[in-house]
Structure 1
Amino acid sequence: MDMNHYTSLLSQLVNIDCGTQTPQGVATVAARLCAWWQEAGWFTRTIELDEACGPGLLVTNRHEPAHYDVLLIGHMDTVFPPGTAAQRPMSEDNTRIYGPGVSDMKAGLVNIFFALNNLSKADNERLSIAVAMNPDEEIGSPWSHQWLSELASRARVVLVCEAARADGSLVKARKGVATWEIQFAGVAAHAGNEPEKGRSAITALAHTVLAVNQLANSDAGTTVNVGVIRGGDAPNIVAASATAAVDVRFWENSDYERVKDALLTLCSQPGYNGVSLSAHCLAHKPAMMPGEATQALMRHIEQAGEQCGVPITWQAVGGGSDANLTAALGIPTIDGLGPVGGGFHSPEEYLEKASIAPRIALLEEIISRLPCGAQQ
């Protein structure tokens, strides 16, 4: 393959600030991708989801098909703030490529483009193919959740092209993930003159954090982390309001229901010193566990790997992705089909050059072996 062409396209995506909260940057990435696919002869449609986020992009090889033999999913957003691309634009050395979002997951998007455009004319005509690229995966896909679910419900299989693990493994299972926000409403007062007239939202938050921490279940692999807290206006004011953001990760969906019920019960009662609490779920992805149909897809992928000389190994990982959404619908789903990378969400994020061409060939082989025809 032409690596110069590949890295040229990749740099066009990496060198754009496109954090989820930078919708114009995500829209610029979507426009670049749309132009590539249109030039290659594919049907494209921009999906406006919400004014708070960038658009989604749908690519198909047929005009408005009723079903898809395969749906490929990738996200266009990153976790990085504006200015990151200018501070550390894409760079490379002999073995790796670096840059914000290079593996999570700009390279996956470019690999999809190369793999599908390498398909034989016969396979392209035989299969109904769709690619969905969303703008908000890094915050749990709150705006694209419904769109992706509708697309997946019409697909025979789903292939998510997040990066392969650092050891080359694909992803067969992912923890579920949920994000909750707890709001605290207290009463403001002067902290020096009449503090007794106030009810501190921050003090109530501190007591509640200790209670929330107790909801974790290490035996089941359930973690509960209060990761962000905000509150108060000044040191000399008893805080009238505060918020806490809570991350929940779980292997067992039933254990998540336990945590959810406990959070709602906790927040339905007055907090410390009568402060009012309320809890809101901002995003939720069920745990992704391989059923029989997904296990059959895993064997299909292992056979494809044998054919093109890519050893296939599997991991279950703690991070969530859009694969969680589609797997929860009962659609056979495999993740980690992008090239090998690591250091996600950090300045050290990298892409292994040697993995690019083999992973494109693997993705092409997987798709070319898929059966066609409407779902039964």
Structure 2
Amino acid sequence: MTAVPADDLTARAHEASARIVADILSLVHHETGSDDLPGLAAGLDHLRELTVSRLGPPDREERHPGGEYGDTLTLTYTGTGPGHVALIGHYDTVWPTGTLAGWEPPAPDADGREKLGGPGIFDMKTGLIQGVWALALARESGAPLPTVTFLFNGDEEIGSLSSRPLIEELARRVDATLVLEPSAHGAVKTSRKGSGIFRITVTGVEAHAGLAPQDGASAITALSEFVVAAAKVAAPERGTTINTGLVQGGSATNVVAGRATASVDIRVTSRAEQDRVDRELDAVRVSDPRVRVEIDHAWNRPPMTLDAASAPLLALAREVAREQGRDELPDTAVGGASDANFVAALGRPVLCGMGAVGDGAHARTEFVYPDTVPAQTALVAGMLRRLADPLPGTPA
């Protein structure tokens, strides 16, 4: 691979810092809740405009309709080297339209360190803009660069239901994938839990709660038994968590409930745990044999671990960080899942958490530290310069 001094990237990123932050805030002010199709469409249009304003028109562009979810946009910029890198990030957020109006600006840290807040600023609109500027700054340096394909999807927060095939197809074609999700306090994310959202449907027998309760078989009572049993399947010491987050059921207070449902969030660190959870939940029995329990085993993302394909990418990121004056670039395992899980499951090189430094994902305390924007942008830019040639040993 071509060795290029990297210090200039950090200087360039600091010079551009005000413009990068302005682009971040501009994108944050386009609300893009996962269930707001008009908002998602407008937000994606704006993201494309920002990208083209910094990089020019792409060499290839495809907008893939998401149907009932946000569209996925791919923009490819041809490089001067043989490498090909994917920069992936989602523009949808967990925040409903209208949240911005009531958002309270975050107070500075006790030492006066500035914070910037807003719906989606940490997860993950800052990372999107940093990725765009990373390519812009790397181009300005005049170094050889890989072909870069941006993939912006609008359904990650609800499982990447329409974009997953596009992510997987892209990951198979490129030499490396950098996912622009927020960092873990500056650490890149090399391991993530697999996740599933199971739907539990319980069918009982309705009856009058006063006149003939014995004729009924309560779906709510049975579901309560199931929820308690499911909680015992969790194994926190192995990283397996089970949370019943939504419960609905019944038709009236004087009717023995004939139907009840629950949505259960499950996180695991390995395929073995995934198989164990499946078996043990299927084995749960409720006390009333007249009740039927159905389980939709909806595993969404497989577990992600640091494997032989991705370890060289982490080593390269640490080398770039040292060249740019960082003492270290830690990596970590986190409980949340991302689109990086899909890439890792294919055995392709991937690093996640290449985006913002801040905290408060999915909370009204969500914020980023603007003083970290130059360093994070320079890190991705430095990675792009070093990936002008494919990593040695990259899977074909």
Choose the corresponding residue for 2:375, options 351, 358, 363: 358
Matched, 1:186 2:183: no
Deviations 1:217-261 (A, max 9, x none): 233221122121111222222222111111111112111111123
3-state SS, counterpart of residue 293 of structure 2: strand
Residue 41 of structure 1: how far off its partner (Å): 2.3
Matched, 1:59 2:78: no
Distance 1:2 1:348 in 2: 27
CA RMSD of aligned residues (A): 2.3
Q: Which amino acid aligns with 2:319?
A: Q
Residue 265 of structure 1: how far off its partner (Å): 4.3
Match of 1:372 in 2: 389
Q: 1:272 to 1:125 in 2, by over 3 A?
A: farther
Structure 1 residues 326-365: aligned runs within 5 Å: 326-365=343-382
Distance 1:363 1:27 in 2: 27
3-state SS, counterpart of residue 153 of structure 1: helix
Match of 2:281 in 1: 263
Match of 2:90 in 1: 75
Distance 1:92 1:58 in 2: 37
Q: 1:226 to 1:272 in 2, by over 3 A?
A: farther
Choose the corresponding residue for 1:314, options 327, 331, 335: 331
Q: Which amino acid aligns with 1:83?
A: G
Deviations 1:81-117 (A, max 9, x none): 2321221177785611011111100101110111111
Matched, 1:103 2:119: no
3-state SS, counterpart of residue 315 of structure 1: strand
Matched, 1:232 2:247: no
Match of 1:131 in 2: 150
Choose the corresponding residue for 2:193, options 166, 175, 199: 175
Distance 1:109 1:4 in 2: 16
Structure 1 residues 117-128: aligned runs within 5 Å: 117-120=136-139, 126-128=145-147
Match of 2:290 in 1: 274
Q: Which amino acid aligns with 2:192?
A: R
Matched, 1:86 2:101: yes
Residue 312 of structure 1: how far off its partner (Å): 0.6
CA contact (8 A) 1:164 1:338 kept: yes
Moved more, 110-119 or 214-223: 214-223
Match of 1:6 in 2: 20
Aligned-pair identity (%): 32
Moved more, 32-41 or 74-83: 32-41
Distance 1:85 1:136 in 2: 20
Q: 1:90 to 1:219 in 2, by over 3 A?
A: closer
Higher relative contact order (CA 8 A, sep 6+): 2
Structure 2 residues not aligned, in runs of 5+:
1-14
Residue 129 of structure 1: how far off its partner (Å): 1.1
Q: Which amino acid aligns with 2:243?
A: N
3-state SS, counterpart of residue 292 of structure 1: coil
Distance 1:100 1:244 in 2: 28
Match of 1:31 in 2: 45
Residue 272 of structure 1: how far off its partner (Å): 3.2
Match of 2:300 in 1: 284
Match of 2:269 in 1: 251
Deviations 1:302-324 (A, max 9, x none): 11001112331111111111111
Name the TM-score, length of structure 2 as normaliser: 0.87
Distance 1:279 1:364 in 2: 46
Q: 1:272 to 1:154 in 2, by over 3 A?
A: farther
Distance 2:139 2:18 in 1: 23
3-state SS, counterpart of residue 310 of structure 2: helix
Distance 2:61 2:370 in 1: 29
CA contact (8 A) 1:173 1:316 kept: yes
Choose the corresponding residue for 1:18, options 21, 29, 32: 32
Moved more, 298-307 or 89-98: 89-98
Deviations 1:290-341 (A, max 9, x none): 1122111111001100111233111111111111110010011111111201
Distance 1:13 1:329 in 2: 31
Distance 2:241 2:156 in 1: 20
Distance 2:142 2:105 in 1: 34
Distance 2:298 2:25 in 1: 33
Q: 1:282 to 1:20 in 2, by over 3 A?
A: farther
Moved more, 254-263 or 300-309: 254-263
Residue 270 of structure 1: how far off its partner (Å): 7.0
3-state SS, counterpart of residue 193 of structure 1: coil
Moved more, 112-121 or 355-364: 112-121
CA contact (8 A) 1:177 1:320 kept: yes
